[in-house]
Amino acid sequence: MVVDGTSDLAIEPMVHSFGDGRASSVDRNLLGGKGSGLAEMSRLGIPVPPGLTITTDVCNAYFSDQRRFPSELADQVLLGLKQIEDISGATFGDSSNPLLLSVRSGARVSMPGMMDTILNLGLNDETAEGLANATGNARFAYDSYRRFVQMYGDVVMGVGKLTETDHDPFEVILNAKKSARNIQHDTDFSESDLRELVVEFKELIVLRSGESFPEDVTEQLWGAIGAVFESWETPRAVSYRSMNGYSSDWGTAVNVQAMVFGNFGNDSGTGVLFTRNPSTGENRLFGEYLINAQGEDVVAGIRTPQPLLRESGTSSGGNSLEELMPEVFAELAKACDLLETSFHDMQDIEFTMQQGKLWILQARSGKRSGAAMVKICADLVEEGILSQSDALNRLDPNQLNEMLHPVFKQPIEHEVIASGLAAAPGAAVGVVVFSPTDVARLVSEGSDVILVRDETSPEDIDGMNLAKGILTARGGMTSHAAVVARGMGLPCVTGCNDLRIDYKNSRFSIEGADGTLVVKEGDVISIDGGTGEVILGAAPLMEAVPPAEYDKIMTWVDASRSLKIRANADTPDDARKAREFGAEGIGLCRTEHMFFGSDRIHSVRKMILAGDNVERINALEELLPHQREDFTGILRAMSGFPVTIRLLDPPLHEFLPQSRSEIEHLAVALNISVTELTSRVHALEEVNPMLGHRGVRLAVTYPEIYEMQTRAIIEAACDLTSEGVDVEPEIMIPLVGLGSELEQLRALVQETATTVLLERGCAIDFLVGTMIEVPRACVVAGEISEHADFFSFGTNDLTQTTFGFSRDDVGKFLPDYLEKGILVSDPFVQIDRPGVGGLIVQAVEAGRKQKPNLKMGICGEHGGDPSSIYFCHSIGLDYVSASPYRVPIARLAAAQAAIEFSI
C-alpha cells in the first residue's frame, strides 16, 4: 500500500450520524453538547429524530482555511443526509415527499451568542406545495414555510432590527396581517394568509439584503451551515468565551436533523421541562407546553403555555398534558427517568409531539439554584442514582454561597440601570450614600445604606462594615472593595463603568439611550452582587434559607476532606460567623483593622508621629488595653481552635490623618505646631509603600510595637485561661525574607511572653511563626523554618512580589494579558501554579526537611478559591484560610480535592 505523505492514517470522520437507536459517536468535545446529547439519547432508545453532526474540528478547519469548507465535507454530509432520508422515508428537496431539516449550533458548553436554530429548512415554492399534498394539511405546510423564510431571512441573511429600539421587521409584517384580519394569535391565520406572508417576507428580504431568498434547497443547507460556523466568531460569542475562560479553539458543531412538527394541528405541540424543580429541587416534573406550536414558541411567550402536570386544587381547566394526552405524558415521564438514571443528573429537556407521537429534541444537565443543587444532590444519592463521592464532585462550590445570602425575588420587575462585576454575592437594598462618614450617620438614623464610591480604601472599612452593600465605579474582582466585601459577606458590585460619580453634588449619573439618569444621595437602589446588576428602587428581597439537605451534605463533605479549613477574621463577630460556617480556627487575624477603630486611631497616630521613644511608648500604653480587649474577644469566640494573629503589617502612613481638621486636632494632642506635624507626616511618605517600611521591618525599627502586641495577646490568653477558656494563640510575623529577621523578632516575642507569663504566674502554649510572602523567604525557607513553628503563605502578597504586579493597579493591564492569552487566569484569584505555586512547593519541601512537623497553610484570597484549594491539598498543606462566607465553599472544595486524589 502506498501512503502519501499528507494523508492522515486514522482520519476522524467530519460527520457523525444518529437516529433509529444508533449513533456513530457520543464524544462531547467533537459533537458539542447538543450533538452528543442527541447521540446518547439515540443509543438509549429514546425517540429522537435522525440527524447528523458536523464536528467541531470542521469549524476549526473552516476558520484556518479562510472560511472555506474542507473539500471532503460535502460528500460526507450527503452520506449522512442519505441516512436521514432512509430512516425518515422522505427525500430532501423532493417535490412530492420533502424531507425538512433543522440546523442547530452547539459547542461543548452551552453558550449564548451562538446562532439561532433554523427550522423547516428544505422548503421552497415547490416542496411547500408537495408537503401540503403529502400531508393533506396545507395550512401546516404554509405555516412551516413562513416560519422558515422568516428564520432564514433573519439568521442567515441578516434581515433584523436596525437599532436596539427598532421592531423585528418580520414581526411588523405579522402584526399588520393580524390586525388586517382582526385576529389575535398566529394559530388563527388561514392558509391564504400564510401564503401571502411567505411572499411578503421574501419581498422584505430582497428589499433589505439586496438578495433573494434561495429556492435551491442545497444552497439553503450550506448557507445555514456557514452561518452556524460564523456565529462562533460573533462579538457576543467571543466576549462570552473570554468572560468564562472558554477557549476559542473549541469550535462549534453543526447539527442537521429531520424535522418533527409540533405545528401539525391540535394533536401536536411543543414544550420544555426540567426533570426536577430548578429553584427548590423538588422531585417533580417542572415545565410547560403549547398545542399546535413549533420551536421556541413556548419560551418566546407568544401564547400563554399550559402546565405539564395536573394542578391539584386549582382550576387549570384540565388543560395539562397529563390530562389531555395521558399516553404522551406517561412516555415523557418514563423518558425523563431514563435520562436521569443514564446521565446521573437533573435534566433540562425539549420535546415535541407530532400527531400524538413524542420526540425528544434536547437533553442536558439543568441549571439550578444553589438550594436546588444541594437538595437534588442529596436526593440522587438517596435514590441510588449517584454515589456519595460522585454527588459531592458534582456540586459547584461557588453556588453554595448563594444559599447564605439574601436574594432578590425573581423575576426582578424594577428597572436595571447599570451593571458591573458580580464581585461579592447577595442582594442589598438601601439609600445611596457617597462617603463612609455619611454611612455611619444614616445608619445611626436607622437607614439601610448602599455605599457608592469610585473605589474604596482601608480607611473606609468602618463605613463599609455598616453598609448593606457596596457599589464602585472602578476596580475589579480583586479590588479593595471586592475583597473586603467578600470578607464581610457584603453584596458588592465593582467596575460599574457607566456610573459617573459627582461627589461634590452627592449624586451619580448614567448616560442612557433616552437621556441621563441622575441618582441622588438618599435615593433607593438595589444591587445584586451575584449578577452585577444595579436596580433603581427597592427590589423585594427574600432570606435565602438553606434546604434541609444542606447539613447532610456538609457532613459528607467533612468526612471526605483532609485539609483543615480556617477563616480570615479580624473581629469576634466575624469569628463567630466563621464558626457557624464550620471554620476550624482563624488563619489570619489582621491587627491593623483594630487600629482603625475610632476609639484608638488617635493613639495610633500619636504612636506613629511620636518625636521620641518615650512618647511612642506612652502612646503604645494607651493602645495596650484596647488590643488586649480585641484579642480577648477573638480568642474567646474561637475557644478550642487555633487563632493566628498577625502583628502589625501595613506601612504607617496608612493611618495618618488626611483632613486639615484632623491634623490640627492631632497637633494639639502632640503639643506641636501644625507645620511640624505636617513635616513629620511628609517624612513618613514612601515612594513604594508596598515595598517599603512595613511588616517585620517596622518592628526592626520600632520593636516596642510588636512588644505591645505580644503583651496584649499573652495577657488576653492568661485572662481567658483563668476563666477556663481554651486558647491556642499563634503569633505571626509578617513579610519575613531573612532567617535573621525572624530570629531577632522571635526572640523579642519570646522574651515578652515569658515576662508576661511570669508576671501572671500562668502557663500558656503558643506558637510563633511567620507569613511567607516574599520570594526570598521561599528560597531560604529551610533557614527561616529554624525559627518558626508554622508557615502561613500569604498568597496575595506573594503573588504581588513574585510577579512584581501591584494588585491595586493590575486592572489596567490584566484584561489584555487574559485576552491575548499571555495569562490564562487572574493570578490573584487562582494561584499561579508554575510561578507562585513553584515557590510555595520549594518552601514546603525545605521547611518540612528541616522540621517535619512544621504546620503549614495559606491565607489570602486564594484560600477560598476551589482550584487553589485543590493545589493546597495536592502539596500537602495542613489548612487553608478563607473569608468566613467562603468557608463552606472551601470545605466542599477540599473534599472534592481529596476525592479526586483518592481515585
Judge whether 226 and 105 are in contact, CB under 8 Å: no
Q: Is 50 in the site for ligand ADP (CB under 6 A)?
A: no
Judge whether 389 and 899 are in contact, CB under 8 Å: yes
Binding to ligand ADP (CB under 6 A) within 343-362 occurs at 350, 352, 361-362
User: Measured between alpha carbons, how far is residue 320 from residues 271, 308, 484 in Å?
Assistant: 12, 5, 50
Q: Is 53 in the site for ligand ADP (CB under 6 A)?
A: no
**184 Cβ contact list (under 8 Å, min separation 6):** 178
805: left (phi over 0), alpha (psi -120 to 50) or beta: beta
Looking at this protein, which amino acid is placed at residue 344? H
Nearest CB to ligand ADP, comparing residues 352 and 796: 352
Nearest-angstrom CA–CA distance, 689 and 654: 9
Q: Is 260 in the site for ligand ADP (CB under 6 A)?
A: yes
- The crossing angle, in degrees rounded to 10, of helices 549-560 and 887-902 is 50
Q: Is 59 a catalytic residue?
A: no
Near ligand ADP by CB under 6 A, which window of 69-77, 252-260, 710-718, 775-783?
252-260
Convert 616-626 to b/e letters by CB count within 10 Å (16 or more is b).
beebbeebeeb
Which one of Mg ion, ligand ADP, none interacts with residue 295, CB within 5 to 8 A by kind?
A: ligand ADP
Nearest-angstrom CA–CA distance, 612 and 608: 10
Q: Is 797 in the site for Mg ion (CB under 5 A)?
A: yes
Q: Is 102 in the site for ligand ADP (CB under 6 A)?
A: yes
Binding to ligand ADP (CB under 6 A) within 806-835 occurs at none
Nearest CB to Mg ion, comparing residues 255 and 632: 255
Binding to Mg ion (CB under 5 A) within 734-773 occurs at 773
Question: What is the nearest approach in angstroms of ligand ADP to the Cβ of residue 362?
Answer: 5
Judge whether 607 and 620 are in contact, CB under 8 Å: yes
User: Which cell goes with 314?
Assistant: 386549582
| Among 492, 496, 859, 872, the one annotated catalytic | 859
Q: Is 108 in the site for ligand ADP (CB under 6 A)?
A: no
Nearest CB to Mg ion, comparing residues 105 and 362: 362
Strand ranges for 421-514 from DSSP E: 421-424, 427-433, 449-453, 469-472, 492-494, 500-502, 507-512
Q: Is 496 a catalytic residue?
A: no
Convert 368-397 to b/e letters by CB count within 10 Å (16 or more is b).
bbbbbbbbbbbbbbeeebbebbebbbbbeb
Judge whether 16 and 31 are in contact, CB under 8 Å: yes
Task: Name the residue number minimizing CB distance to Mg ion.
Answer: 797
Near ligand ADP by CB under 6 A, which window of 254-262, 301-309, 604-612, 798-806?
254-262
Select the residue interacting with ligand ADP from 35, 130, 269, 295 (CB under 6 A): 295
Looking at this protein, which amino acid is placed at residue 297? D
Nearest CB to ligand ADP, comparing residues 295 and 651: 295
Query: CB neighbours (10 Å) of residue 167?
Result: 11
Which of these, 62, 130, 75, lies nearest to 100 by C-alpha position?
Answer: 130
Near ligand ADP by CB under 6 A, which window of 255-263, 454-462, 472-480, 483-491?
255-263
Binding to ligand ADP (CB under 6 A) within 714-733 occurs at none
Binding to ligand ADP (CB under 6 A) within 497-516 occurs at none
Site track 319-358 with Mg ion (rule: CB under 5 A), x = hit = ----------------------------------------
Query: CB neighbours (10 Å) of residue 302?
Result: 16
Question: What is the nearest approach in angstroms of ligand ADP to the Cβ of residue 259?
Answer: 4
Select the residue interacting with ligand ADP from 19, 37, 49, 80 (CB under 6 A): 49
Q: Is 259 in the site for ligand ADP (CB under 6 A)?
A: yes
Which one of Mg ion, ligand ADP, none interacts with residue 794, CB within 5 to 8 A by kind?
A: Mg ion
Cross-strand pairs, 500: 509
Helices (H), 89-190: 125-135, 138-155, 169-181
Q: How many residues bind ligand ADP (CB under 6 A)?
A: 14
Site track 116-135 with ligand ADP (rule: CB under 6 A), x = hit = -x-x----------------
Going across the sheet that includes 286-291, the strands are 306-307, 286-291, 269-274, 347-354, 357-365
Q: Is 362 in the site for Mg ion (CB under 5 A)?
A: yes
Three-state DSSP class for 218? helix
**322 Cβ contact list (under 8 Å, min separation 6):** 308, 309, 310, 329
Nearest CB to Mg ion, comparing residues 139 and 593: 593
Nearest CB to ligand ADP, comparing residues 258 and 607: 258
Q: Is 104 in the site for ligand ADP (CB under 6 A)?
A: yes
| Among 16, 405, 480, 593, the one annotated catalytic | 480
Question: What is the nearest approach in angstroms of Mg ion to the Cβ of residue 252?
Answer: 14
Catalytic annotation, residues: 480, 859
Residues that bind ligand ADP (CB under 6 A): 49, 102, 104, 117, 119, 257, 259-260, 295-296, 350, 352, 361-362
Residues that bind Mg ion (CB under 5 A): 362, 773, 794, 797
